[in-house]
Amino acid sequence: MSAAKRKKLLAGNWKMNMRLAEIEPFFTAFAAGLDAASRQQVDVLFAAPFTQIQATLAACRARGFAVAAQNVHFEASGAFTGEVSAVMLTDLGVRSTLIGHSERRQYFAETDESVAKKTVTAIKNAMTPVVCVGELLEERKSGSTFEVVGHQVEAVLTAVKNQGPLKDREAFYPGDLTDGLVIAYEPVWAIGTGLSATTEQAQEVHAFIRKVAGEILGNDFAGKLRILYGGSANPGNIAGLLAQPDIDGGLVGGASLKPGDFAAMCITPSA
Ligand code: PGA
């Protein structure tokens, strides 16, 4: 499974940050920090809070960056106060969403089951789900990382397989930001802590995720699947991570709020 065919994807996760007035200045600075070669060689995606999506889309469209939501509901409409559906997002022109971020799992009771349902819904609506998985510190320490991550990946990909969208939709295959599936491996102990996984720790889990994906959805799928690393990724460690054969990009929180830092991270892969 050659990494050469997989285009790198750098995704910024703004979380509950970025006021409306900050968006245009952010992109002016971010775009100024990128070079022409990187723009061609790297896909760039910004996961914005719901209320900031339209302004983010307006800033990104002309500049060629993609926009994602940070969450989506699995039903199209109904009595779900406070939720936003995939059709509402696609009405706006949003073609991607994060699903199952560890903060959603930890603070908003997301489960493997809800993550699976949301992922299937996103795919059915021609959105690219960026599905987040990762182990807690206790799980890493007790040696159950592979079991935990394997279970999370299996739950979501088995649901995708059982729904049959792969059979119905040739274009489902990953590799195209407008129509695919991305997995983000984010060890929970590394998120926002400044304590990134080492390149070796990340690579071995990424390779494992690709193996599990291959067992469930076949090696053609797994070979094209983009697997991002997240958890204290920054301009200083991104190059080493992206040099690993199974690390296809980054899901970046804190550093994605700093336009200069995030631009530097998007340049690294093509350097
Ligand atoms: P971080 O967050 O880069 O600030 O660690 C990553 C994430 O939560 O997606």
pLDDT tens digits along 82-102: 999 999 999 999 999 999 999
pTM of the model: 0.94
Query: In CATH, which of 3.40.50.1110, 3.40.50.980, 3.30.1330.10, 3.20.20.70 is domain 3-270?
Result: 3.20.20.70
Nearest to 44 by CA among 269, 270, 266, 230: 266
Going by pLDDT thresholds of 50, 70 and 90, the confidence category of residue 268 is low
Q: Domain extents for the chain? A: 3-270
User: Catalytic one among 103, 110, 186, 206?
Assistant: 186
Given this model, what pLDDT does residue 179 score? 47
For ligand 1, the distance from its centroid to the CA atom of residue 13, given in whole angstroms, is 7
Given this model, what pLDDT does residue 166 score? 53
Decide if pLDDT at 270 tops 60: no
Concerning whether 73 is annotated as a catalytic residue, the answer is: no
Count the helices and strands in the chain (H runs, E runs): 13, 8
Decide if pLDDT at 170 tops 80: no
Ligand 1 site residues (CB inside 6 A) read 13, 186, 191-192, 230-233, 251-255
Sequence letter at residue 37 = A
User: Catalytic one among 101, 103, 110, 139?
Assistant: 101
Q: What is the distance between the alpha carbons of residues 223 and 239, in angstroms, rounded to a whole number? A: 21
Render pLDDT for 126-145 as a digit per residue (tens, 0 to 9). Answer: 899 999 999 999 999 999 99
Q: What is the distance between the alpha carbons of residues 270 and 8, in angstroms, rounded to a whole number? A: 9
Specify the residue for token string 């690993």.
244
